[in-house]
Amino acid sequence: MTAFLTVNNLSAALHGYEQRVLRSVSFSIDTGEVLGLVGESGAGKSMIGKAILGILPSAVDIIEGEILLDGQDLEKMKPADRRRLIGATAALIPQDPLTALNPSRRIEPQITNRLVDILGWTKSAARVRALELLNEVHIDNPERVMASYPHELSGGMRQRVLIASAFAANPKLVVADEPTTALDVTVQKQILRLIRELQARHSTAMVFVTHDLGVVSKVCQRLSVLYGGKIVENSSVADFFDGPKHAYSRALLAATPKYTDPEASLLPVDEAVIEAVAAEVLAADREWRHGG
């Protein structure tokens, strides 16, 4: 079976700079599979999600590589066609529920816009679907929420609305960009369970961006560890937690706080490991420059 999403040798750089921010990233995801992208802040994990969905900041250029969505190369498509393909098959669960809903519009059109405008549903059909979705994300009074403005809802509620909105058009691919980072811990757990539930029900392929290995172990089947925009290890979740192969991955795993052992102090990642992985990234850079 061919993968639903394939990223091949994807490199990106800041506009006008030679230094790459994504370094020959390759991975693929099958339908119904969840891939975790983990790494420190600035490792480029969100960048990959944004590149797939075509929402990279204007200062970042894709300089080589391909992104195949459902067998079609996004980089080679006309912008209007790419927009329609992504609109019809992919969705985003953003990081910050506070800015991800338009503050001056009610919830209902924010969920139904895509259905009506892009997929040509009737307004009433879209409304029925939106109510159904809000039920699916366990919102008690969907009618009232649909008529609300975002500022009238709590952070957890907004994230539920965003999840409902992401799954509105039955997407085949969802990019979840640290969907629980901005929420407090008790709400995080519910939201994770919810994402998992909807992903399984719709058998969606999912890219799950996070810095939290604990979350990865609960949600993902496979994971890619990133450092400096380069994937240093691809692994299944089961293998990874048995014992990661790469020294940097081992160090990351060791630095994860263990709630079962409150006495254990938080350990920073060993500097020698960081230096080693940084050297590895730079070596790959040199090789890439000579090759290309």
Q: Is residue 120 within the footprint of other proteins (CB under 8 A)?
A: no
Q: Which of 147, 200, 238, 267 binds other proteins (CB under 8 A)?
A: 147
**Among the candidate windows 31-39, 109-117, 215-223, 267-275, which touches other proteins by CB under 8 A?**
109-117
Mask 180-219, x = binds other proteins (CB under 8 A)? ----------------------------------------
Dist CA 255 CA 96 (whole Å): 25
Pull the structure tokens for residue 187: 């709400």
Residue 282 makes CB contacts below 8 A (sequence gap 6+) with: none
**Among the candidate windows 10-18, 105-113, 238-246, 257-265, which touches other proteins by CB under 8 A?**
105-113
Total residues contacting other proteins by CB under 8 A comes to 36
Pull the structure tokens for residue 105: 């519009």
Count of CB atoms situated within 10 Å of the CB of 81: 12
Nearest to 65 by CA among 73, 54, 55: 73
Q: Is residue 151 within the footprint of other proteins (CB under 8 A)?
A: yes
Q: Is residue 84 within the footprint of other proteins (CB under 8 A)?
A: yes
Nearest to 224 by CA among 10, 55, 76: 10
Dist CA 288 CA 282 (whole Å): 10
Locate tokens 């009433």: which residue?
A: 124
**Among the candidate windows 5-13, 65-73, 95-103, 122-130, which touches other proteins by CB under 8 A?**
95-103
Distance of CA 116 to the CA centre of its chain: 25
Q: Is residue 55 within the footprint of other proteins (CB under 8 A)?
A: yes
Contacts to other proteins by CB under 8 A:
50, 53-55, 58, 83-84, 86-88, 90-92, 94-96, 99-105, 110, 113-114, 117-118, 144, 147-149, 151-152, 162, 165
